Structure 1
Amino acid sequence: MPDPMTLSEFHFDANYRGDSIYAEDSPLHAIYRDVVPWDIGGPQPVVVALEAEGAFRGEVLDVGCGLGDNTLFLAGRGHRVTALDVSPKAIERAGERARSLGLEITFVVTDAVTLRSLEGRAYDTVIDSALYHGLDPEQRRKYAAALHGVTAPGARLHIACFSDEVPREILAPNRCSEQDIRRTLTDAGWSITRFDRATYTASPDFTRDLLHRIVEAMNVADGASFVEGLPADDQGRLLLPIWQVSAERV
């Protein structure tokens, strides 16, 4: 089994400035240049569906907000949102977008694993859209515990993370099994209320051709068949397999 990767191995700030998320010595550096794989210019459909179900209440925390698409959507729907990311550039751009829309959102640059900047807070709802799968097993345990520490009793946690169907070379370095997620959340004081297979919408720049280049460059076993088997939405954007998980703080 390959060694676990950490978020520090990804160059998020460079990616949000138009460069690659991978280091220059990576075979994926040139392939990912100018591509932010999760930036679809709007909220993830899974987040939109959750909001329509009434899954967000009280003070909302968006962990790993990136450019803020989900944050802006939730704030626009009247929710009080705090959004955090490790990338100063992402927070800068998200803040600019919020101001242009006249939305009041609290943005924080901080480490999602420890959440030290949020100590003493008690959020009612947390959304994690594609952060969890970037953490290694030890980081996940710390993260789940940190979330428990900054949420109120009965708080809701919603996670959308790549499932173990996604090759680790495709931005899923520490793929998530159902067993891993259930154990990690339960041990940290979360009671799982939903565990479904769903899909995550990729950037229109994250094309099938680009994915073929990735699996070829990394010599991914059965990579070509995985790429060809991916569905797409009505706009031609690829849909990647995820776990959609909801849990309640106990």
Structure 2
Amino acid sequence: MPGSTPHPHYDPETSRKPEDLYISRPPWDIGRPQPAFLDLAHAGAIKGRVLDLGCGTGEHALMAAGLGLDATGIDLASNALHAAENKARERGRRARFRRHDARQLADLGEQFDTVLDCGLFHIFDGDDRAAYADSLRSVVPVGGRYFMLGFSDREPTEWGRVHKLTREEVEAAFADGWRIDSIEPATIDITTTPDGIQAWLVALTRI
């Protein structure tokens, strides 16, 4: 995700520990859901059992829980997960938070109707990207939805090792087992600039 550090959850290319990215509040931790995902919630697009991948401090899992949905968030940063659990208690919302690798979702032994991803897919390339796509297919049944917010190639600034995504890259990554419903320009809000980061909002359906 944004900033001089490569990502809020983990960086497969360095020895940085996931917890290191939450020692102080990172710019992507805005204390509320991303507007693009909140719009999906208001439109009724987030349904059933919800999985928030790379959940950080849990805003999107808690958003789903606030809709009365069964919500789970996973991340590799244990301190971020601890913060998410504290938020859940403070807000009186029921959500589960687990330390787990998004490239190994089959190990959860569960299925999810809606999967949310804000700022995780765009850290992967090569074998990791393929493993992530395979992992997603293992937990989303036919008809399930995947919504992703990722850095767009339209964003002019550089942010660590984040991969700026083209439409073609997204289409190629999810060519097997998914219908691409839409790839639309969007913004990822951050705390360090009012303009946010240029992103793609991707909507897929499992087929």
Q: Do both share a fold (TM > 0.5)?
A: yes
**Is residue 75 of structure 2 the alignment partner of residue 47 of structure 1?**
no
Query: How does 1:102-113 map onto structure 2 within 5 Å?
Result: 102-113=92-103
- Measure, in 1, the Cα distance between the counterparts of 2:51 and 2:86: 19
Write out per-residue CA displacement over residues 189-217 of structure 1, whole angstroms, 9 at most, x where no aligned residue.
Answer: 111001111111112xx24xxxxxxxxxx
Counterpart contact for 1:168–1:175, Cα < 8 Å: no
2:154 maps to 165
2:195 maps to 238
Write out per-residue CA displacement over residues 40-99 of structure 1, whole angstroms, 9 at most, x where no aligned residue.
Answer: 111110110011111111100000000111221221121210110011111111011101
1:196 maps to 184
SS in structure 1 at match of 2:164: coil
**Is residue 75 of structure 2 the alignment partner of residue 85 of structure 1?**
yes
Instruction: Pick one of 8, 12, 17 that aligns with 2:23.
Output: 17
Counterpart contact for 2:151–2:163, Cα < 8 Å: no
SS in structure 2 at match of 1:57: coil
Query: How does 1:77-226 map onto structure 2 within 5 Å?
Result: 77-118=67-108, 120-166=109-155, 169-171=158-160, 173-187=162-176, 189-203=177-191, 206-207=192-193
**Is residue 72 of structure 2 the alignment partner of residue 72 of structure 1?**
no
Q: For the aligned residues, what is the CA RMSD?
A: 1.8
TM, length-normalised to structure 2: 0.88
Counterpart contact for 1:98–1:105, Cα < 8 Å: yes
Which structure 1 segments of 5+ residues have no match?
19-34, 208-236
* Residues 36 and 128 of structure 1: CA distance in aligned 2, closer, same or farther (over 3 Å): same
Question: How far apart are residue 133 of structure 1 and its match?
Answer: 0.8
Q: Which moved more, 1:35-44 or 1:121-130?
A: 35-44
Amino acid of the structure 2 residue aligned with 1:53:
A
Question: How far apart are residue 171 of structure 1 and its match?
Answer: 4.0
Q: Which moved more, 1:5-14 or 1:56-65?
A: 5-14
Write out per-residue CA displacement over residues 100-127 of structure 1, whole angstroms, 9 at most, x where no aligned residue.
Answer: 2221111110111222541x21110000
Write out per-residue CA displacement over residues 140-194 of structure 1, whole angstroms, 9 at most, x where no aligned residue.
Answer: 111111111011211000000001123573145322111111011113x111001
- Measure, in 1, the Cα distance between the counterparts of 2:201 and 2:54: 16
- Measure, in 1, the Cα distance between the counterparts of 2:116 and 2:152: 17
- Measure, in 2, the Cα distance between the counterparts of 1:71 and 1:102: 13
Counterpart contact for 1:83–1:108, Cα < 8 Å: yes
